[in-house]
Amino acid sequence: MNNAERRIIICAGTGCVANGSLKVYEEFKRILGEKNIPVTLEFKKEEHNHDGIRISKSGCQGFCQMGPLVTIMPQEILYTKVKPEDVNEIIDTTIIGAGIVDRLLYVEPATKKHCTGPNDIPFYQRQSRTVLKECGFIDPESIDEYMSHGGYEQANRAFTKLSAKDICDEISFSGLRGRGGGGFPTGKKWELTRVQPGPKKYVICNGDEGDPGAFMDRSVMEGNPHSVIEGVIIACKAIGADQSYIYVRAEYPLAVQRMRKAVQDAYERGILGKGVFGTVNKIDCEVMEGAGAFVCGEETALIASITGKRGMPSPKPPFPAQKGLWDKPTVINNVETLATVPLIMKNGAAAFKKIGTEKSPGTKTFALTGHVSNTGLIEVPFGATLREVVHNIGGGVTDDKGNITPEGFKAVQIGGPSGGCLTKEHLDLSLDFDSLRSVGAMVGSGGLVVMNHQTCMVQIARFFMQFTQNESCGKCVLCREGTQQMLALLDDIIEGRATGETLKLLETLAWAVQKGSLCGLGKTAPNPILSTMKNFRAEYEAHVFQKRCPTRRCKALCLPVIDAAKCKGCTACVKQCPVGAITGERKMPHVIDASKCIKCGACIKVCKFNAIGI
Ligand SMILES: Cc1cc2nc3c(=O)[nH]c(=O)nc-3n(C[C@H](O)[C@H](O)[C@H](O)COP(=O)(O)O)c2cc1C
Ligand code: SF4
Ligand code: SF4
Ligand code: FES
């Protein structure tokens, strides 16, 4: 094996950095130096010129929960939860020797099998990593490395060999649908913008990603920023734009930094700026930090934000394709959509269409979180089922202590605050734009939160409602006031004040907010309520009519009960109870009168014998 092939890749995505991966990186450099093992830190165009083992950082490798991750190439050994104190052993055993540090391998919980790398880890085996293929492998800060993998060849081809119409046709034929949530056909959007009159047009890359729990776009920007820029450049050629913006959430400092470096490097190589690819064309690109509001991801609000105005949506039509940034025709695409474009151009639309379903071709990244054994960033073809995602990739549903429970699956919340909750019945539903919409959910941004039987669905609806209520920009009365009122009604249910009228009112209000709001935030805000009310009606009714929370998560609905076997009759609870609900003789088991109890929990706190539970 020559040195050019030998490589140590340390994940430097946000998750692994937070767990200390940069210290692991520094430790590798330090100890390899001490042992006089030659090291190359920078990628050189000619691989055979590498005169040492290459150490590089990468973007997110997907398996964040097991981070910091270290991959040793070419054997593709994946070490998990690596600490600086493990580095010496890795070097002695795997770099100098040819062995494996067994204790740092991933152990599959169900079979206890020690897996050596992605090829035998079920989390990776069952995925189709296409957009994410190079995320977690290439150095995101090296334009040379991106180019050594064929990077910017498609942008070059777009400028030197293809017409704008050719590109729009290829993307239309591929059937690519926008990954930003709505699933609008990308080729159609480009074609609409291309045919608009006038010389000035814009391309905007939407990297706002404000959905709670989502980090797909962040990972692509951090892990392979040049793929996003290449998509932006191809979009510019396709519609005839010479100026582009990459709008990145300000809360993503690493993504902002890596996108900025990538843009600067692309300028230095003449890939951006004047005379791109030896033509007379000019393409400018600016990275802008978002304004920190979820609604700024909505395209008209985003346009307002770029122009320095408050990020508030405006009515459509006119659509941005007709009248967008500074009233000029503008294409707005999601990060993942744009990162997919160079792949389509490279492999051809026909190849792209072979993956996924007929109406939702290609793959989709999801942020898989919640009660599953393996959480992280995943990519599957459209048409994969929830069962495959939850059981095969996620490794099964876990209880609150993290142990796998075969009967544990209750629901999955898909698509973030715009999406809905699906149940066991939907485990074999095809994950694609249209199937999800038909059952009241959405692909949305790609958040996928798995929930076990200990989860209260009313509280889940409340969590998302609290988010949208906080994020409503306040322009529409129905969104501004309606989300507030829906939240108050959910509180009534959770706190035991609700009646049958509350449920009716909640449904009527949800319908009204959906109909009467201007933008997608308000229009989809009721989705988590409507889908949980539809799929978990009995759970709502138990809260409302029996004043009982079946999962015992809503404290106000959980009546304390004294366990007679444990009660010593010490009377401490009697003295503590503010409404005199507890009675009993000294040294005899006590009882709580349910009609008097106000469920304040004071007795539970005071009982030294752990005799009171809910
Ligand atoms: C409240 C709200 C927030 C949104 N946030 C994002 C976002 O963060 N990123 C994104 O790409 N699209 C977001 N969208 C969708 C965009 O408005 C737009 O449809 C999308 O960027 C278009 O790109 P695509 O065609 O590639 O999907 C949001 C929409 C709404 C209503
Ligand atoms: S629906 Fe809500 S977020 Fe959207 S414009 Fe109206 S008030 Fe603002
Ligand atoms: S405090 Fe506990 S042990 Fe004492 S009487 Fe009350 S329930 Fe029984
Ligand atoms: S950040 Fe390292 S695996 Fe995701």
CA pair distance 523, 268, nearest whole angstrom: 44
SS3 readout for 382-438: CCCEHHHHHHHHCCCEECCCCCECCCCEEEEEECHHHCEEEEHHHCCCECCHHHHHH
Residue 395's Cα: distance from chain center in Å? 18
CA pair distance 604, 560, nearest whole angstrom: 7
- Order of strands, sheet of 282-289, starting from the edge strand that comes earlier in the sequence: 273-274, 282-289, 243-248, 202-207, 330-334
Mean pLDDT of 543-557: 89
Ligand 3 pocket test, pick from 563, 571, 585 with the greatest ligand atom count within 8 Å of Cβ, gives 571
Does 397 have pLDDT greater than 90?
yes
**Cβ–Cβ < 8 Å for 529, 508:** no
Q: Which of 261-265, 338-342, 548-552 has the lowest mean pLDDT?
A: 548-552
Query: What pLDDT score was predicted for residue 1?
Result: 45
Q: Report the separation in Å between the CA atom of 474 and the middle of ligand 2, taken as the mean of its atom positions.
A: 6
CA pair distance 14, 218, nearest whole angstrom: 9
Does 5 have pLDDT greater than 80?
no
Query: What pLDDT score was predicted for residue 144?
Result: 94
Nearest atom in ligand 1 to 211's CA: 8
CA pair distance 510, 482, nearest whole angstrom: 8
Q: Which amino acid is at 188?
A: K
Mean pLDDT of 353-365: 96
Does 43 have pLDDT greater than 90?
no
pTM of the predicted structure, to 2 decimals: 0.90
Q: pLDDT by residue (tens digit) across 163-197? A: 999 999 999 999 999 999 889 999 999 999 999 99
Nearest atom in ligand 4 to 377's CA: 4
Ligand 3 pocket test, pick from 566, 590, 610 with the greatest ligand atom count within 8 Å of Cβ, gives 590
Cis peptide before 74 (omega within 30 of 0): yes
Q: Report the separation in Å between the CA atom of 415 and the middle of ligand 1, taken as the mean of its atom positions.
A: 12
**Cβ–Cβ < 8 Å for 32, 47:** no
Query: Which residue in 58, 72, 50, 47 sits closest to 22, CA to CA?
Result: 58
CB of 15 closer than 6 angstroms to any ligand 4 atom: yes
In the DSSP assignment, the letter for residue 356 is: B
Taking CA atoms only, the protein residue closest to ligand 3 atom 1 is 607
**Cβ–Cβ < 8 Å for 526, 464:** no
The residues near 488 (Cβ < 8 Å, ≥ 6 apart) are: none
CB of 294 closer than 6 angstroms to any ligand 1 atom: yes
CB of 360 closer than 6 angstroms to any ligand 2 atom: no
Strand partners, 356: 361
CB of 210 closer than 6 angstroms to any ligand 2 atom: no
Nearest atom in ligand 3 to 571's CA: 5
CB of 61 closer than 6 angstroms to any ligand 4 atom: yes
Nearest ligand (C-alpha, residue 571): 3
Mean pLDDT of 264-283: 94
Ligand 2 pocket test, pick from 208, 294, 295, 515 with the greatest ligand atom count within 8 Å of Cβ, gives 295
Mean pLDDT of 513-525: 95
Nearest ligand (C-alpha, residue 106): 4
Angle in degrees, 0-180, between the axes of helices 216-223 and 225-239, rounded to the nearest 10:
100
Angle in degrees, 0-180, between the axes of helices 186-194 and 164-174, rounded to the nearest 10:
160
Q: What are the CA-CA distances from residue 160 to residues 240, 275, 344 (Å)?
A: 14, 11, 17
Mean pLDDT of 92-121: 92
List of E strands, 14-139: 39-40, 53-58, 70-73, 77-79, 106-107, 114-115
Q: Report the separation in Å between the CA atom of 591 and the middle of ligand 3, taken as the mean of its atom positions.
A: 9
Q: What are the CA-CA distances from residue 440 to residues 20, 388, 437, 500, 502 (Å)?
A: 41, 21, 5, 23, 22
Query: What pLDDT score was predicted for residue 562?
Result: 93
Taking CA atoms only, the protein residue closest to ligand 4 atom 3 is 64
Q: State the Cα angle at 177 between 176 and 179, rounded to 5°.
A: 120
- Order of strands, sheet of 447-452, starting from the edge strand that comes earlier in the sequence: 376-381, 363-370, 447-452, 409-414, 420-423
- Ligand 3: residues within 6 Å at CB? 562, 567-573, 590, 606-607, 609, 611-612
Q: Report the separation in Å between the CA atom of 91 and the middle of ligand 2, taken as the mean of its atom positions.
A: 55
Mean pLDDT of 499-521: 96
In the DSSP assignment, the letter for residue 178 is: -
Nearest ligand (C-alpha, residue 291): 1
**Cβ–Cβ < 8 Å for 526, 416:** no
Query: Which residue in 170, 176, 211 sits closest to 296, CA to CA?
Result: 211
pLDDT interval class at 558 (50, 70, 90): confident
CA pair distance 431, 442, nearest whole angstrom: 9
**What is the enclosing helix (H) or strand (E) of 538?**
helix 537-545
Q: Report the separation in Å between the CA atom of 471 and the middle of ligand 2, taken as the mean of its atom positions.
A: 9
CA pair distance 23, 16, nearest whole angstrom: 10
CB of 178 closer than 6 angstroms to any ligand 4 atom: no
Q: Report the separation in Å between the CA atom of 62 and the middle of ligand 4, taken as the mean of its atom positions.
A: 5
HSE at residue 310, side-chain half, CA atoms within 13 A, is 4
What is the pLDDT of the chain when averaged over all its residues?
Answer: 93
- Dmax (CA) of the chain: 95
CA pair distance 607, 405, nearest whole angstrom: 32
Mean pLDDT of 445-451: 90
Query: Which residue in 246, 254, 250, 258 sits closest to 210, CA to CA?
Result: 250
Taking CA atoms only, the protein residue closest to ligand 3 atom 6 is 573
Q: Report the separation in Å between the CA atom of 463 and the middle of ligand 1, taken as the mean of its atom positions.
A: 21
Q: Which amino acid is at 68?
A: P
Nearest atom in ligand 2 to 301's CA: 5
Q: Report the separation in Å between the CA atom of 298 and the middle of ligand 1, taken as the mean of its atom positions.
A: 5
CB of 326 closer than 6 angstroms to any ligand 1 atom: no
Mean pLDDT of 552-559: 85
Residue count of the chain, please give it: 614
Mean pLDDT of 86-93: 97
Q: Report the separation in Å between the CA atom of 395 and the middle of ligand 4, taken as the mean of its atom positions.
A: 18
Nearest ligand (C-alpha, residue 330): 1
- Give backbone dihedrals phi and psi of 245, rounded to 5 degrees, phi first: -130, 140
Q: State the Cα angle at 482 between 480 and 487, rounded to 5°.
A: 105
HSE at residue 401, side-chain half, CA atoms within 13 A, is 2
CA pair distance 208, 96, nearest whole angstrom: 44
- Which of 46-50, 316-320, 400-404 is modeled with the greatest confidence? 316-320
Nearest atom in ligand 1 to 189's CA: 25
What would the two tokens of residue 415 be? 């698509």
Is 131 exposed, middle or buried, given 0-12, 13-18 or 19+ CB atoms closer than 10 A?
A: buried
**Cβ–Cβ < 8 Å for 606, 572:** yes
Q: Report the separation in Å between the CA atom of 581 and the middle of ligand 4, taken as the mean of its atom positions.
A: 53
CB of 209 closer than 6 angstroms to any ligand 1 atom: yes
Does 593 have pLDDT greater than 50?
yes
Mean pLDDT of 290-301: 92
Taking CA atoms only, the protein residue closest to ligand 2 atom 1 is 522
Nearest ligand (C-alpha, residue 589): 3
Q: Report the separation in Å between the CA atom of 52 and the middle of ligand 4, taken as the mean of its atom positions.
A: 26
Tokens 């529409």 belong to 476
Sign of CA dihedral 206, 466, 19, 9: negative
Q: Which amino acid is at 447?
A: G
Does 72 have pLDDT greater than 70?
yes
CB of 474 closer than 6 angstroms to any ligand 2 atom: yes
**What is the enclosing helix (H) or strand (E) of 24?**
helix 21-34
